[in-house]
């Protein structure tokens, strides 16, 4: 373990690098590194504070890079020493992407390797790190989105390592197949579209015009990303955040520039902005492992979002353009075409196919242990969350002994960041029975 410390306004930061087994069932086998950034209030640097480990959303997303006491850190640093974990394969933790995976023997070796990058392995990394940092004392977990999935697995498998658990927008179904997840997701996506178009009715025509242009022209963005109507629809992932609808509106209003002779082309600015939103270059594991984060048992995911979409014809771009229906944007869905459209994913196409076909995923949750836990747990459940089905979350909340929920429509999925210290403060009070 290597350690480096430095300062930002109001905080002391320390970099940690830990060696962990790729496969925790084979601790003497291949080792990888996991990076984590410790954050403590500058005035309390020498104090013996309890630890809080933050598990970012995803899968496949590195911990957010905060400056000073941004967002929920302001509240956390009043009583915790915080550890911002780059989950394995992300950020500075032995990154896994098209460049590093190119050294493997082939798609099969890549898929077998990435099968060790789900919540179960992340939690076992946490337990090794906890014992090294705390001397064995339990710590607090804050899990955002997929980080909440990891926290629920933590409660199922290693509750002895936990002091308390806070979950924001990340209570998973304990037993739903990916098909169940997406059958519930497409109606939510439609509701988010309807709300967006009600707010910005001018975007109905704008979105149709852009999609029609893409249907008639082969458009490759400056990054090499092939922008098809389906890829354009995936900008709907923005609709799950507090300011996402506004951001999408501003993208659409600057889409075209006149080029003479009555012709219009997609502007360079629009193409650059869309490329930044759609590229998976910074988080390829999000695409490769997204459906795998729901997988348990022998049933493959088999490109669930793509298959289930066929049952929701309103999302068919060609049909919308043939008629007069609004173009519906999609949300948090991964499709086979992502691995041909995005240059960051193209080399992983065969690996992704093998992961989609995999039939040996271990179970992630233990309902019996969750029903018997005595760990204080509090969860923020965002009403009509685009990314996580509310009813699935509430069913799981009822299955975890003593869990207290805060159900709110004040925030979208990014509430723990957008709400500053308020969301974490509320969850701390709930877990401690102070409200």
Residues identified as active-site: 145, 360, 413
CA dist 270 and 141 (Å) reads 39
Report the alpha-carbon distance of residue 387 to residue 390 in Å, rounded: 9
The DSSP letter of residue 25 is T
Q: Cβ(151)–Cβ(55) under 8 Å?
A: yes
Q: Classify strands 256-260 and 263-266 as parallel, antiparallel or unpaired.
A: antiparallel
Distance CA 230, CA 221 (A): 14
State the residue for tokens 């159900």: 407
Alpha helices in 65-201, H assignment, sequence order: 73-76, 98-101, 107-114, 119-134, 146-157, 178-199
Token digits for 51? Answer: 């630890």
Burial of 247 by CB count in 10 Å (0-12 exposed, 13-18 middle, 19+ buried)? Answer: middle
Task: Output the DSSP codes for 277-335.
Answer: HH--TT-HHHHHHTGGGG--BS---SSHHHHHHTT-GGG-HHHHHHTTPPPPP--S---
Q: How far apart are CA 123 and CA 129, in angstroms?
A: 10
Question: Rounded to the nearest 10 degrees, what angle do helices 202-216 and 178-199 cross at?
Answer: 120
CA–CA dist 20, 30 (Å, integer): 9
Q: Is 226 helix (H, G, I), strand (E, B) or coil?
A: strand
CA 117/CA 386 separation, integer angstroms: 24
List Cβ neighbours of 79 (8 Å cut-off, separation of 6 or more): 49, 50
């Amino acid at each position: 373990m290597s350690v480096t410390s430095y300062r930002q306004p109001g905080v002391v930061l320390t970099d940690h690098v830990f060696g962990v087994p790729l496969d925790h069932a084979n601790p003497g086998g291949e080792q990888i590194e996991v990076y984590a950034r410790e954050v403590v209030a500058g005035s309390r640097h020498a104090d013996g504070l309890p630890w809080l480990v933050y598990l970012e959303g995803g899968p496949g997303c590195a911990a957010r890079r905060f400056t000073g006491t941004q967002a929920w850190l302001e509240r956390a640093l009043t009583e915790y020493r915080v550890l911002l974990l780059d989950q394995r394969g992300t950020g500075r933790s032995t990154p896994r992407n098209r460049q590093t995976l190119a050294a493997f023997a082939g798609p099969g070796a890549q898929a077998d390797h990435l099968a060790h990058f789900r919540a179960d392995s992340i939690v076992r990394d946490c337990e090794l790190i906890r014992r090294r940092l705390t001397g064995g004392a339990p710590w607090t977990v804050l899990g955002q989105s997929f980080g909440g999935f990891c926290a629920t697995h933590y409660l199922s498998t290693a509750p002895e390592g936990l002091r308390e658990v806070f979950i924001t927008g990340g209570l998973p179904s304990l037993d739903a197949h990916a098909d169940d997840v997406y059958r519930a997701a497409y109606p939510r996506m439609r509701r988010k579209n309807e709300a967006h178009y009600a707010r910005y009715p001018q975007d109905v025509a704008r979105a149709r015009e852009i999609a029609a242009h893409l249907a008639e022209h082969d458009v490759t963005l400056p990054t090499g990303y092939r922008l098809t109507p389906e890829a354009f629809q995936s900008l709907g992932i923005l609709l799950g955040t507090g300011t996402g609808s506004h951001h999408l509106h501003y993208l659409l209003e600057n889409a075209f520039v006149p080029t003479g002779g009555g012709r219009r082309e997609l502007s360079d600015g629009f193409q650059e902005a869309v490329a930044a939103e759609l590229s998976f270059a910074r988080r390829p594991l999000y695409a490769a492992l997204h459906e795998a984060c729901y997988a348990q048992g022998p049933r493959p995911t088999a490109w669930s979002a793509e298959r289930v979409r066929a049952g929701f014809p309103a999302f068919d771009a060609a049909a919308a353009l043939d008629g007069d229906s609004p173009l519906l944007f999609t949300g948090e869905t991964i499709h086979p075409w992502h691995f041909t459209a995005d240059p960051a994913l193209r080399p992983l196409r065969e690996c992704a196919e093998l992961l989609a076909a995999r039939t040996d995923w271990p179970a992630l949750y233990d309902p019996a242990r969750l029903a018997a836990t005595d760990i204080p747990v509090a969860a923020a459940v965002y009403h009509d969350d685009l990314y996580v089905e509310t009813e699935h979350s509430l069913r799981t909340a009822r299955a975890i002994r003593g869990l207290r929920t805060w159900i709110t429509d004040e925030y979208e999925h990014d509430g723990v960041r957008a709400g500053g210290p308020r969301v974490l403060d509320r969850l701390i009070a709930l877990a401690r029975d102070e409200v």
